Every structure is written in C-alpha cells, then in structure tokens.
Amino acid sequence: MGSTSEPNRLSRRGLIQRAAALGIVAVPAAGLLSGCASSGGGTKQENGTKTATNPFGVVETAPLDVVIFDGGFGDDYAKRFEAMYRTEHPKAKVSHTATQNITGLVQPRLNAGDPPDIIDDSGNQQIKLDVLEKAGQLTDLTPLLQAPSVDDPSKKVSDILMPGTVDLGTVNGKFVTLQYVYTVFGLWYSGKLFKQHGWSEPKTWDDFISLGAEIKKAGVAPFAHQGKYPYYIDVAIMDLAIKNGGTDFLTRIDKMDPTIWDEDPARNAIEAIYEIVQKDYLLPGTNGMTHIESQTAWNQYKAAFIPCGAWLENEQLKATPSDFEMTFMPMPSLSGDKMPFQAIRGGANEPYIVPRQAKNAAGGMEFMRLMLSKKGATAFAQAANSLTVVKDGVDPSVKLRPGTQSTVTALKAAGANVFNPTYVTDYSAFATDMDNASAELMANRMKPDQWLKTVKASAQKAAKGGS
Amino acid sequence: MRHRKYPFIVGFLFVPVVLYTVLMVWPYIQTFGYSLTDWSGESQTMHFVGLKNYTTLFGDTVFREALLHNVLLLVFLPVITILLALFFAFMLNVGGRGTTGGVQGVRGSGFYRVVFFFPQVLSVAILAVLFEAVYRSDSGGLLNGILVKIGLENPQNPIEWLNDPGTVLWCLLAIVVWQGVGFYLVLFSAAMQSIPREVFEAALLDGAGRGQTFFRVTMPLLWDSVQTAWVYLAIAAMDFFALVSTLTPGTAYGGGPDYHSEVLSTYLMRNFLFYGKSGYACAMGVVILLITLVVSVFALRVTRRERIEF
C-alpha cells in the first residue's frame, strides 16, 4: 500500500460542475498577470485549556471558518458536521462556505496569511497537497491521531481508522491531511442488463474480451469511458498493470522507476486495453465524451462496462433507472497476475486540511475529530452515499444503495489485497503526460509501443526531479 | 490664469493615475519579479533563480505549440471575422437593389441585424454549454446528429470534433467567429451609415457594381473601424482561455487532445495552479504580455492610413 493517491481521482468527480464553473472564469491575459500579485501577512493563534473532552484546547468563543468543496458529495453533510460542532461549542460562530473553486477562494487567503480553519481541498481546482506541504502551509495533524475518539474515549482516533488512512494522509513524511472518504475503483455494470442477457461477470481478461463479442452481438457497446478526462482509463490501465506485476511493480511506479515501462506488466496492461480499441468495443463517441455524458449513456444501457470509482452511484443518482442494479467488480485478471482477481484499488480520499496559519487550528482539528465519530460517519453515508475511513462507522440500520453495497462486498472479498498507487499526486506532470498518451491510444492514434515509449520518456523526466 | 492650468489637470489625474499604478502597473512589475523565482504559488517562500524560467520556456515544446496555436488564431480570427462582418454590414446597408429610392440594404435588414447580434449577448459560460451540445462526439450532438440524419456519417463512427487533432482548434475558432461577427457587423454598420449617401449614389451613377462599390468606396472609408476591430480581435486571439479550458479534453484546463488545442493562457494556468510552478507561469505571463503588446503595436502601425475627410 502506498500513500496519498486518491484526491486526484475524486477531483474528477467534481467535473460535473467543472464545465459550467470554468466557463465563468474567463480570464483575460491582464487578469492572469495581476493574479500573480500578492501580499504578505501573519496571524496569531489562540489556545484554550486542553481537557479530556476538549483535547486540542479549543477556545469556546473562537469562530470556525469551514470551506467545503461542493462537488459530487454536495455540502449537506458538512452542514451536519457543523451542527455537531455548534452543539459542542455553542458560543462559537461557525461559518460555512461551499465552492467548486477551492484554489480561487483559498489561495489568495493562504498567501495573505488569513486562511480558513478547515478546508475540504478537493475538486478540479484543488490546491495540490505536495505543493502546500512543501510551502509549509499545513498543520501537522499528529495530535488528532493521539486524541481520544468521540465514541469511546479509551480508544485513540488512530485506532478507529481504516488501515492505510495515515499513510494516505502523509505527505513527505508528515501526517498533514485527513483523507476522509473510502473509495474503491474498478469496473461497473448493470445487474439488470446482465441478468436479462444471461451474462456473467468476467473474471479474466480473456473472458472479458469474449463476453465483449457477445455483448456487441446484442447491440450494446461493450465498453465506455470518460474520454474527455483520460484519468479514468489511466486508472484502469494501471490497475491491470499493478495486479499483473504485484507489489514490486507498485513500489517501483511510486518511486518513479522508469525501467518498469520496459517490463511485461506495463506491456500486458496496455496491450489488453488496446484490444478494446482494436476490436471496436468502444461506445461510439466515448473518446470525446465528458464523464457525465458517457456515464449517462451507460445508465441508458448503451454500454455494458465503464471504469469508475465508488462515487459513481452518487454522481449518477438522477440518471440511474431504479431497477438498474448498479454493480461493482474488480478489474479482470490478465494471465500471470501476481495479485488475485479480488484485488482492487481502494483507499481514502477527499483530503481535509487545517492550514498552518489558521486562527482556530484547534477548532479545525476538533471538527475532524467529530467527523470521525460514528454519528459523523453515518451522517456522511446518508447525505453523500459514501463510506468513510471510520472503521465500521456506519450504523447498520442505515440501508445502502446497491452500488455502494456492492463496493462493501468487494472490499470484504479483497481483504488485504487493496492497493493504492501514489504517483498521481506526487508527479502531477507525469500523470498529465500519461493522460494525454492514453487518450491518443483510445482514439487509435497511438499504438501500445508508442504509449510505452512516451510514458517512459515522461517518467525519466519526472525521475530527474521536474515533477 | 494660464499658470493655474497644470495644478488643475494634475488634480483631476491624481486619483486615476494612483489607482492605475496600484492596480495595474504594480502587479505587472510584481509578476516580473516572481518570474525570476521558483515560487510555488502557495506561500511566500521562494528563491531567486535569475532568468532560468525564461531559458526553460524557450526549450519547452508545449509552450511552442501553444504559441503556434495562438499565432494561427491571430491570423485567422481577425481575417475571417472582419471579412464576414464587412460583407454582412455591406449587404445590410448598401447591398440592396439600387432603386429609385436610392441606396438601401437587402430586404429585412433590420431583422437580420438583430439576429446577427444575438450571439454577442451570450456569456462565455453559455457558449461553452451550447457548443458542448453542438460538438458532442456521438449522434446525440447537433452536428453529428445532422450528418447522421442526412447519411453523411456512420453513427458507429462519429466525428469526435473536439477530440480530433485536425478539427479541435478550428471548431473553437468557429465559435468565436460566430459570436463575434454580430458585434463587428454593428460596428461597421454604424460607420457605414456615417458615410454620406451621395458617395454611394455617385458611384452607382458612374456604373459601379456592388463589388466595386465595396472595394473602392466602402472599404477605404471604413478603415478606422477595421483597424479598431483588428486590434480587438488580435487581443481576443491571444486569449481563448475560457473555451479551451471548458470544451477541450485534457487534465486541468483542457488543451487536448495531446496539446492540439493548447493556448498560452491555458498552459500558463496549468503551470500556475496545477503543477505548482507559479514562477515559471509568471515568466510565461510576461512573455504573453510582450507578445500581445507587439501584436497590438504592429496591428496599429501596419493598418495606419491617411484619414479621408468627408
């Protein structure tokens, strides 16, 4: 298991609003230039007395400034958290800001030394965590891990988290972000469509390809992907490669070892994906579609499989027919895979941060501690149809939607075989280069050989230091 | 009283000049300062790196590609928009049948004027949503839908307008032309109406056809307006940020497929906000400013003609 990988994946989830939101930001050249202007500044932090129920010493009257990314999860869940905070600190004024443009809102405040107290740093306009950490803008959240948990004060917060959460929140050796949402990534299909045609879940890639021929005969396109945002197909490619090459491959890609692109796992994976292109299994036009366009076409039974993360169900809530039976499955196995079929990419994402210069940093951490209570986790599952990093956090009386339920099942089946590469956040320029190459491959303008060469060249550049 | 003139003028100019300096000039200078550092954009910690950002910039193939696209737009956007706008303005004002009533526009010109101007009132956000539907990559899109209906295209193999390296930039150009023509049409119409009717009538009496009237009479008399339009459009061609970042594929501000629609402003933004290379992005900003300045001066110089009094 690596560390921090997922924020970028989830950030794509916010793309629904992205198209519209970005359009408004029509910045002329002069505006871009003045955007670079800045001013310095500093702040004073207040501290109250620390007690068992107030482990961070929150000042009763200190206002709390919350900024939430208003994406696929909405911001209703945050209002529930805020209500919990208000109950605990009735004298504190809690302000709530929801935005799709985290950078635009937060970056000037960081530079001015007057940041919010807690930020959901997600979405397409996310401020990169590696960049923030290097700039010394993040509070070390180790005290949060050491603090007693809300539900059972005899347990520390670190004891109630899903495995890997601390790793994923660690940037350059420091635990600075709370990755709150637990997500898995794989292929999705409609249980109803499969039952109707008598198809069954393909366990190997060969099965997948032969089932594809059958699906095509039935007049459905076997595969759709979110072509405008090649990130999704990248995840599918890399998951095939990681399952094929095992832990060794995973460690080396995260270390940005360029030699892995000469080896079999990478080649096997890209050739497998290219088969989809060659056999013409793609939904017509899918390469140019936004995630919403392609996912909606999939919801309309125009395509059988689509790769995505567990946010898919919440994102497609309105477009999904009630009898669709959204179902999750791991990426099928290639021959010679080092990991079993059940292995999936899974991990925490949706990074919450407390800026170093926040006036009420203690309040920000207390807010996180409340998020990590069972009440918080259940509120999130209800308001956002997603699981959190709180172990067994959801009240069993809460009924989950079929897609979310199928991810819970898959996660249980995977056991310890959950992996999570980190190169996406650590090497953003490399990830972008891979995005571009994969888009070219899917459009059949690039062959697997060229793809490997392009990605390797970019990896070599990234390994030299220009991330 | 003459000696009181200068304090009087200074009194009026003081506030605007201060505002302009603080809000415009100072940020430009700051940007230049940042362009000499390795600023990440997220804090005030940075190191002086001299001209390194600029030397890197000239070896950056993506930057060169983006520059090439801006240059292409710079050439085609003004030419196409101005020619179309001039043609339509001419038809609406003097292109009608020369009857005994004198010189007039084609029938229904008042209606056309409103129709042509209509796209101009749409905001860029609406344009992006609208053209996402027009250029949609399957038969659900307006363009592909029509092509499929009339049998020119196989629905199994639609044209992915915005995901095709050969079409993407021209598709974007078409949007801006579509939106811009109406505005310049009104600009040119106003200018044409200020040309005395007698000039056109005299040309007609001398036996000039529509084409001759256009090139020999209308164009020279409209030169000032064309010049203005040229400068505006050149500046617009240096931007293109909103459309590229919303409509084209690619991570963080579009520019795809594989940089085939990358423009300077999107590449700047990706470096500034996504890669955390803000110092480098500021260097880009300075270069873009210089290019825009040169283009504007060039456009004004080249198109300078003697003014015709009438």
pLDDT by residue (tens digit) across A74-92? Answer: 888 999 999 999 999 999 9
Q: Look at domain B59-302 and name its CATH class.
A: mainly alpha
| Contact by Cβ (8 Å): A361, A354 | yes
Q: Is the pLDDT of residue B204 over 90?
A: no
pLDDT average, residue stretch A97-108: 90
> What are the DSSP calls for B259-277, one per residue?
TTT--HHHHHHIIIIISS-
Number of domains in chain A: 2
Which band of pLDDT confidence, cut at 50, 70 and 90, is reported for residue A36?
very low
| Contact by Cβ (8 Å): A199, A329 | no
Task: Please provide the size of chain B in residues.
Answer: 310
Tally C-beta pairs within 8 A across A and B. Answer: 201
| Per-window interface: B 26-65 vs A, CB < 8 A | 26-28, 30-31, 34, 40-45
pLDDT for res B52:
87
Higher pLDDT, B108 or A306: A306
For residue A303, what are the contacts with CB-CB under 8 A and spacing of at least 6?
A220, A221, A222, A223, A224, A283, A286, A294, A297
pLDDT for res A19:
33
Domain co-membership, A13 together with A161: yes
Q: Is A31 a domain residue?
A: no
CB contact under 8 A, B136 and A128: no
Domain co-membership, A305 together with A394: no
pLDDT by residue (tens digit) across B268-279? Answer: 999 888 888 889
Distance in Å, alpha carbon of A34 to nearest chain B alpha carbon: 5
Domain co-membership, A301 together with A380: no
Q: Is the pLDDT of residue A21 over 60?
A: no
Domain co-membership, A321 together with A453: yes
Domain co-membership, A156 together with A205: no
Domain co-membership, A162 together with A270: no
Which band of pLDDT confidence, cut at 50, 70 and 90, is reported for residue B130?
very high
| Contact by Cβ (8 Å): B281, B271 | yes
CB contact under 8 A, A287 and B137: yes
Distance in Å, alpha carbon of B29 to nearest chain A alpha carbon: 9
Q: Is the pLDDT of residue A119 over 70?
A: yes
Q: Is A249 a domain residue?
A: yes
| Residue B167 forms contact with A (CB below 8 Å) | no
pLDDT average, residue stretch B91-113: 70
Lowest mean per-residue pLDDT among A11-15, A185-189, A211-215, A372-376: A11-15
Q: Is the pLDDT of residue B102 over 60?
A: no
pLDDT for res A423:
80
pLDDT by residue (tens digit) across A51-65? Answer: 878 889 899 899 999
User: Which residue of chain B has the CA closest to A36?
Assistant: B31
pLDDT for res A27:
33
pLDDT by residue (tens digit) across B146-171? Answer: 999 998 888 888 888 999 998 999 99
pLDDT for res B296:
79
Q: Is A240 a domain residue?
A: yes
Domain co-membership, A256 together with A243: yes
User: Which residue of chain B has the CA closest to A108?
Assistant: B42
Which band of pLDDT confidence, cut at 50, 70 and 90, is reported for residue A25?
very low
What is d(CA A279, CA A199) in angstroms, rounded to the nearest whole number? 19
pLDDT average, residue stretch B12-39: 89
Instruction: Answer with the one of A419, A439, A455 that is the final residue of a domain.
Output: A419
| Residue A202 forms contact with B (CB below 8 Å) | no
| Per-window interface: A 50-89 vs B, CB < 8 A | none
Q: Is A327 a domain residue?
A: yes
Q: Is A72 a domain residue?
A: yes
| Contact by Cβ (8 Å): A220, A231 | no
Mean pLDDT (chain A, rounded) = 85
Residues of chain A positioned with their CB less than 8 A from the CB of B157? 284
Q: What are phi and psi of B77, to 5 degrees?
A: -60, -55
> What are the DSSP calls for A272-320, one per residue?
HHHHHHHTT-BPTTGGG--HHHHHHHHHTTSEEEEEEETTHHHHTTTTS
CB contact under 8 A, A132 and B42: yes
Give how far the C-alpha of residue A390 lies from the chain's centroid of Cα atoms, to the nearest Å. 16
Q: Which CATH number belongs to the domain containing residue A150 in this structure?
A: 3.40.190.10
pLDDT for res B66:
92
Distance in Å, alpha carbon of A113 to nearest chain B alpha carbon: 9
pLDDT for res B169:
93
Which band of pLDDT confidence, cut at 50, 70 and 90, is reported for residue A18?
very low
pLDDT for res B11:
83
Which band of pLDDT confidence, cut at 50, 70 and 90, is reported for residue A225?
very high
pLDDT for res A20:
33
pLDDT for res B1:
52
pLDDT average, residue stretch B294-300: 81
| Contact by Cβ (8 Å): A102, A155 | no
Distance in Å, alpha carbon of A452 to nearest chain B alpha carbon: 15
CB contact under 8 A, B163 and A443: yes
Q: Is A46 a domain residue?
A: no
Domain co-membership, A179 together with A190: no
- Chosen from B42, B136, B139, B143 to mutate, greatest number of chain A CBs within 10 A: B42
CB contact under 8 A, B42 and A229: no
pLDDT average, residue stretch A233-253: 93
The CB-side HSE value for A314 (13 A sphere, CA atoms) comes to: 23
Of A24, A36, A285, the CB nearest to B160: A285
Which band of pLDDT confidence, cut at 50, 70 and 90, is reported for residue B202?
confident
User: Which residue of chain B has the CA closest to A26?
Assistant: B242
Residues of chain B positioned with their CB less than 8 A from the CB of A7? none
User: Which residue of chain A has the CA closest to B280?
Assistant: A36
pLDDT for res A204:
95
pLDDT by residue (tens digit) across B49-68? Answer: 888 889 888 888 899 999 99
Domain co-membership, A211 together with A325: yes
Domain co-membership, A336 together with A352: no
Lowest mean per-residue pLDDT among A11-25, B11-25, B217-231: A11-25
Of A20, A32, A428, the CB nearest to B285: A32
% of chain B beyond a pLDDT of 70: 93
Computed on alpha carbons and rounded to an integer, the radius of gyration of chain A in Å comes to: 22
Which tokens is A53 given? 């129920």
| Residue B289 forms contact with A (CB below 8 Å) | yes
- b/e code B60-74 from CB counts within 10 Å (16+ = b): beebebbbebbeebb
CB contact under 8 A, B30 and A38: yes
| Residue A465 forms contact with B (CB below 8 Å) | no
- Range(s) of the domain holding residue A290: 185-344+423-463
The distance between the two most distant Cα atoms of chain A, rounded to a whole number of Å, is 70
Higher pLDDT, B302 or A231: A231
Q: Is the pLDDT of residue B293 over 70?
A: yes
Domain co-membership, A87 together with A230: no
Higher pLDDT, A382 or A179: A179
* Run of H or E residues at A223: strand A221-223
Of B127, B144, B258, the CB nearest to A439: B258
Q: Is the pLDDT of residue A234 over 80?
A: yes
Domain locations along chain B: 59-302
Which band of pLDDT confidence, cut at 50, 70 and 90, is reported for residue B95?
low
| Contact by Cβ (8 Å): B283, B35 | yes
| Per-window interface: B 262-281 vs A, CB < 8 A | 265, 268-270, 272-276, 278, 281
Q: Is A39 a domain residue?
A: no
Lowest mean per-residue pLDDT among A224-228, A306-310, A439-443, B301-305: B301-305
> What are the DSSP calls for B102-139, one per residue?
BS---TTHHHHHHHHHGGGGS-HHHHHHHHHHHS-SST
pLDDT for res A3:
38
> What are the DSSP calls for A331-352, one per residue?
PPBPTT-SS-TT-EEEEEEEEE
pLDDT for res B106:
73
CB contact under 8 A, A28 and B239: yes
Q: Is A166 a domain residue?
A: yes
Residues of chain A positioned with their CB less than 8 A from the CB of B40? 131, 134-135
